Each structure stands twice: as structure tokens, then as C-alpha cells.
Structure 1
């Protein structure tokens, strides 16, 4: 089908297959031979892997026993808070050069092994990391992806010269006695993913969790095989995939899985950005959603488990409360008067908090220790003058004494008249003694009726 225009240009729509480029017989034979070699090589590799897999695993398990326990114990200038900054730098450099995942884990392993044997100063810590990255890239990656020394120097902002990278590289190799190869987490993860038939998303989530563990001190001494199995178990739980049915996690793997789940809330922003692209299945976003859902579920469970607390009972403030506990085992009233000898000097007064009643309108009289009688006047030991006490404040023993004295004097004046005393003086003395007797009787009655009236 042709569409012709006035300027003699036209479009052609055709259902015919595009023409193949012309290939001579010699080039075609080479292409077929190369494809055949790839098939034969894959088959031989599979057979060799099946034959030597057990021996390879035994060798890897022997080598992973050499995992450093505390790499920064000999480095006094380097603290653990510096490690996340160096790991961030290595993650960015690893992603910039498009290196293999196994290269990053081997880089950190070389770094930890070197720091466990040598004293590294603070200003050389980044240089050791760059040398470890350079060695790991040469060991496992393709030649065209190995970073150049000039590129590493530019990434370090010119902090180190080109000769320093070469010198540090040789020093690391000599310290490790040229033992570069070491089992990594990625190696065991690939074996487990292929054996348990997990998909690519689970593999990416497992790699993300394993790289999160590189930042923290708790995972430095963990074996790569244990870390691989624990990270795969946590990755399946995050993505909602079923667990492997062949075997359960042992004690060490369960402990590492719990530690991984504790460090999921705040991953490194650099690492989260690396795993947020579509090629990594955006596993960082999936992990953030899982952490948010888990936090909401925990908060809801805590609210449901704790019952609401009942409202607090507020004691109403009583007005004009003047109560003194007089009986030790009886109820304390809220009304009455302060009665010596007990005065409220404690925290609680009458089962009422100290701050819940107003201050009395008159000061509280302290308990007198001794009473000195002088007729009808009573001298307080706390005052220098004589004071007349109200009837309800006079001790009962004193009232009885006054009453007995007045009664005896009165009956003496009436029944036993004194000789040589005229009638007017006898009548006057009789009136005085009668007045004292009546006064004593009145005070005696008040002292006994007042406590009964007010419940004291």
C-alpha cells in the first residue's frame, strides 16, 4: 500500500517481513559454532557443579569460620559510628561502577579482615575501603568494569594521591597473605534461591536486608550462611510469601532474623534509593509499607490490651473542718474543735489530706506539759502570764481538785464556825465559799458534758 504526495514522497505500509542482512557462509558457521559452544559449556558447568557442589560447600564452610569477630578492636582512632559513613560511600561507588552484588560483600569482608589485623588511622579509613573495593572488583568483575585509580581519587575529592591507592592495595594484599576469596552472603543466597525456587523479588529483598546488616555492629561476626538464610526468611515474611518447608531455622538463624527485623525501621537513605528503582522491584518501598503496617498493628494491639483507666475520685473540700483524733481506734469526725493534748502535726489530719482543709481561724494551742494552779487562774508553760482557760479547755483533774477544795471549805464554814467571829464576817465568808463551790460545780459539769455533746 502506497501513499503518494505531490512532492513525490510517499509512505509504504507492508506486511512483509524485514529483510535479513546478508551473511556469508563463513560468518554463519562461526555463529552456529559459538552457540554450540555456549550450550556445551553450560552443560559442563552444570555437571561440574553437581559433581563438586558438596566439596565446594565444605570448603566455603571452612573458610567462613575465619570471619572476623571484632574488626575495630585494634583501631583506637576508628569508632563504630564512622562505619555507616564508609559503607554509604562504598554503596554509591559500587552502584556507580555497576559492579556485581557479590563484589560489595567481598569489599566489606576485605575491609574487616584488614582492620582486624592492622592499626588503621582515621584519615586512612576511606583509603582502605577504596583499596578493598579495587581488589574485590579485580577479583570478581569484568575487566571493563574495574574502577580506575583516577576515578577513585576523584570520588575521594582529591584527598589521596594516585600512588597512595597502589601502595594501600599492596599493603592489604600482603596483610591478608593474598587470600582474597571468601564466601559471601550473596553466594549462599543464590544457592538457597535456586534450591527453594524463590522468585527474583524475594532475591532482591534478601539482598536489600543483607546490605542493611552491613551498617550495624551486631552483624559483623555473623557467618555468611547464617545471614543468607535469615535474610531470606525475613524477606519472605515481608513480601507475604510462604516459608520453606524443607527445614526450620536453628537458634542462631532465628536470633539473626530477629535482629534484622529490629533494624528495618530506619535504613540508610543511600541504600533505600539504590533499591527504589524498577529493576530492583522497588523493594525499599515494599519494606517501608511493611514497617508502617507493623507499627500500626502493634499500636492497635496495645490499645486493645490495656483497659481504660477509671476516672479518679476527687475529694470534696469540706469547709470549717476542725478535727483532732482523740480516740486512737475510733472514727475521726470532720467537725469539732481542736482538743489537747493531741494536735495535728502529721501529713494527714482526720483522714483528710493536708491540703484539702482550710487553715483554722485561731492558732492551735500546743499540749501543755505541766499545769500550775493558782486559785481559778491557770498558768501555761508556753506563756509567761497567767491565762484564764475556757471551761472545756481545763483538765478534768484540775476541775475535780477545785471542786473538792471549794466543797470542803464551804462545809467547814457552815458546820464549824470559827470562834470570835461576828455574824457579818461569817455571812460574808459563807457567800464567798458558796460562790466558789457553785463555780466549781459549773466547771465540773461543763468539762463532762462538752465531750459527750461533741463526740470526743
Structure 2
């Protein structure tokens, strides 16, 4: 039977069975927009309720959290005396390694607490193990890798290949993983060290947020990493003292003595202020950016004003005995008064080590090179450290680091 087309309906010819009227499109769009707006408002309300509950919970357990943090910081402090008895690494090598870690930390855009934790792991390892000069940078890279894995964003954790590239391929992949394992074993897998940044966030929560004060405090605290006298200082003391000094430089109101941030140590504040002069150039460049509120330039301006005040005060002072005049003229002639951050060209002496030594570093093919040289009676040569070229990239700095520290027989 032949197929017969259906007769045309009274609504007219239509190519589709799905018919929507024009006015319905606007109604559906309005309803969909209203649903999305209601969902967004509900999400905002839920987020506000969650933040309020988090604040209430934090206030309820704040005393317990603070007590635990203060207990942990005393348990995870490095020992300066143990680092002093190292047979190869010396304190004048520290600025080289810290400059490298600061640039690597900035290149991977890691959190501020990661840098403080990495330096803590490095110092704690050096407090327990003998570290050869040729492995000093390897320990620093392993500490940075562990700190990043512990508390930073997972997509920013550096890979072994990236760290190897920064070290100019002077270490094999297996050496990074083996040193990472050995650092963890040496520290008994205790990584949870309360950093200066952790205590700083607690102190800043007591007042309105001021990014310039936060950046200035971090800048001062990172300057302290370069100095031996602050290695065994508790992070809580360093955080409060750095915050008090930052507020003084920026002419901000100090915290009251009833607040936790107001209980700072005046002696530590004075010591920090004495080390603001001529900081590490890498650190100064880092905090000269607008991202960090240009606090390094602010410190330089502050120091220049203080030097001008010192000159005017010295000019108006009454005559003093000749010896005092000579000493005062030396101070006034220098625009930066006080101790300076260790620089790479100022360390020509070798720190005397004690009689006892910590346990030896891992004994295998990678880590016995320096021990073999020592057993064979090869002399240890400490060449002079020329001024590094700060315009070069991190790879050139890593190569310079190794060429400076390795004796000729190890190259």
C-alpha cells in the first residue's frame, strides 16, 4: 500500500515536533538566572557561617594551640654548639646557601613558612650529622623539598629534575632522594616545627590586617636567618620582636602589653635592629618588589634618616676625650651603624671547631668522597670568595657556589 502523507494540521506546517513559543524563551532564561542567583547567595551564606564557626572554634582552642606550638618550638630548635664543631662547613658558607634557597623559594612561589621550615630542617640536620662541603647544597635542597611537601601547595612542590637543574646537574637523582630520606631519618620524621610565619599570623590576627607590616616583619625575620646568633632563638620570640621592630620602622602603633604580640623581647629587638644594615642583596631584591610593598627600600630610607639624626646629634654634642672622639668619628662617618649581615666577601677566617663530632653522614658511594679524601691526608683548601655576579641566573649561582666551596682535589 502506498504511503500517504498526513494531512496538514490546522496549526500549519512544522518541520519539527518540538515547538517552543518565543515568549517562553525569556521566561526560562529568567527562571534559570534566578536559580543561579539563589545558589550563589546560599553559597555565600554557607561560607560566612563556616568562617564564623571557624573563628569561634579557633578562639575556643587558641590557648591549647598556642601551648602546643610553644612546646613544639622548644623541641625542634637546632643547636648552635653542635654546628660549631662541624669539621668542614663553616658559618661563612651560610650566606651562599641561603641566597640559593631564597631564590629557589621565590622561583617556585612557595609560601613564606616553607622557607623558615626548610632552614630549620637544614640547621637541625647539621646539628646531628657531619656535613661535607660538597654536600651542603644537597642538604639544603632536600630540606626545601621536604618543607614544600609538608605544608605548601602540591602543584608548586619542586621536582627532583628541577632541583637538579638548579644545581647544574652536580648531583644525581638518586642523591636527592637518598638525602631526603636520610634527613627524615635523622630528624626521626619530626617535621612539624612552628615557624616564625605561623606565630606572626597569630599576632596579626589580634589587629586589623596591614600588608606592609606583614611584609616588613617577614623581611626582618628572613634577615635573621643569615646570622648565627638567631639560629637557636625561638620562633615565637623572633616573630614578636620582628613585628615590634617593623611597627617601629613604619611608625605604626605598638600592641598593648596585654596582647600576645606586645610581650616582645627588647634585647632581641635591639639585636635585629643592629643587623638591618647591608642585608643580603638577594633578599633585598626580593623585598624591593611591589608585591612585597617595597619594604627593603623603606628600611634603607629609615636607616638614612637615622644616620642623619646621628650626625646632627654628634655635631651638637660637647667635646669628649680624644679616644672617644676617634671612635665617634668612625661611627658617624659610616651611614650604616651597627653589625652587618654576613656578606660573601667578608669571611676570611675559619671558625674553630670543638673536639667532639656528631655521627657521620651516610656511608655509601655518594657520601664517602670527602671522607676518603680526609683519610688520605689531603689538605683542606679554603680559597678566597670573590664577589658573585648577581646579574646571572640561579644556575650560574649554583655553579659558583660549588666552585667556591670545593677544594681542587674534589673538583
Residue 196 (structure 1) aligns with? 207
Conserved 8 A contact 1:209-1:260: yes
Preserved contact between residue 91 and residue 104 of structure 1 (Cα < 8 Å):
yes
Q: Which of these residues, 258, 262, 284, is aligned with residue 270 of structure 2?
A: 258
2:51 to 35, 38, 42: 42
Unpaired runs of 5+ in structure 1?
Answer: 1-19, 310-456
> 2:216·2:295 contact (CA, 8 Å) conserved in 1?
yes
Partner of 1:293: 305
The residue correspondences of 1:226-305 to structure 2 (distance < 5 A) are: 226-247=237-258, 253-305=265-317
Q: How many residue pairs are counted as aligned between the two chains?
A: 291
Residue-by-residue CA offset, 1:249-271 (whole Å, 9 max, x unaligned)? 99981111111111111111101
Worse-matched range after superposition: 49-58 or 300-309: 300-309
TM-score, normalisation: structure 1: 0.59
Unaligned runs of 5+ in 2: 1-28, 322-411
Once the two structures are TM-superposed, the CA of residue 23 in structure 1 deviates from its matched residue by 6.7
User: In structure 2, which of residues 81, 84, 90 is the aligned counterpart of residue 73 of structure 1?
Assistant: 84
Following superposition, the deviation at residue 64 of structure 1 comes to: 1.2
Q: Matched residues in 2 for 1:51 and 1:39: separation?
A: 18
1:25 to 1:128, Cα distance in 2 relative to 1, 3 A: farther
Alignment of 1:56-135 (within 5 A): 56-66=65-75, 67-70=77-80, 72-135=83-146
Q: Structure 1's 160 and 23: CA in aligned 2 closer, same or farther, altered over 3 A? A: farther
Shift of residue 197, structure 1, vs aligned partner: 3.2
Cα gap change, 1:250 to 1:242, in 2 (>3 Å): closer
- Following superposition of structure 1 onto structure 2, how do residues 22-421 of structure 1 map, counting pairs within 5 Å? 35=44, 37-66=46-75, 67-70=77-80, 72-197=83-208, 199-247=210-258, 253-307=265-319
Alignment root-mean-square deviation, CA: 2.7
- Cα distance in 1 for partners of 2:36, 2:282 equals 47
Deviation at 1:295, TM superposition (A): 1.2
Alignment deviations for residues 46-87 of structure 1 (CA, whole Å, 9 cap, x no partner)? 222112111111011111112123151342101000111111
Q: Which moved more, 1:28-37 or 1:77-86?
A: 28-37
Q: Bigger radius of gyration, 1 or 2? A: 1
How far 1:242 sits from its partner (Å)?
A: 2.2
Contact 1:236 1:242 in 2 (8 A): yes
More deviation in 217-226 or 233-242?
A: 233-242
The structural deviation recorded for 1:41 is 3.4
Distance between the aligned counterparts of 1:95 and 1:239, measured in 2?
A: 25
Q: Could you list the per-position Cα deviations for residues 428-447 of structure 1 after superposition, in whole angstroms to 9, with x for gaps in the alignment?
A: xxxxxxxxxxxxxxxxxxxx
Whether the 8 Å CA contact 1:127–1:165 is kept in 2: the answer is yes
* 1:82-130: CA deviation from partner (whole Å, max 9, x where unpaired): 1111111111011000111111111111111111111111111111111
For residues 171 and 207 of structure 1, the distance between their equivalents in structure 2, rounded to whole angstroms, comes to 30
**SS of the residue 2:206 aligns to:** helix
Give 1:203 deviation, angstroms: 1.0
The whole-number CA distance in structure 1 between the counterparts of 2:217 and 2:53 is 29
**How many Å separate the matches in 1 of 2:295 and 2:212?**
8
| Higher RCO, 1 vs 2 (CA within 8 Å, ≥6 residues apart) | 2
Answer yes or no: is the 8 Å Cα contact 1:74–1:115 preserved in 2: no
Give TM-score, length-normalised by structure 2: 0.66
